[in-house]
Structure 1
Amino acid sequence: MVLNVTATDPTTSIHVSVFPDGTARTSASNLDFVAGQTVPNLVVVPVLNGKVGFYNNAGSVDLIADIAGYYTT
């Protein structure tokens, strides 16, 4: 799945990871930002069980995920 993920209203310096549902998340970060920033990023992630997971390492943040596309192999 191809997603445009936007982080907004973070309370502190944060990184967010997007990963396939039901898998162990990696230490890779898809978005990095500081308090008060709004930051978008295009993310490509496999879909498992019809879902993807989002991980926020600190504080709180609002995430907006827009599906830009989907493909199968």
Structure 2
Amino acid sequence: MFATTDNGLSGTGKPESVFISWLLWQPRGADLAVEALKEVQKLSRYDDSDPDITRLRSLFVSLAGADGPLH
């Protein structure tokens, strides 16, 4: 059984930990910028009021190489 921790925010885990886990699970040779953009699009569906989601989205935006806002 897996233990979960609550960091006092959304309970989803630290955005940086989620981001690193995502990176480690990408297949060899994957275009990380393209895959990161897909994650940005998925995360855009969520409300920006959660600071964890906002931070995670910004990490993916950075990896995708976006200079401006992504939709």
Q: Normalization by structure 2: what TM-score?
A: 0.29
Higher strand share: 1
Higher helix share: 2
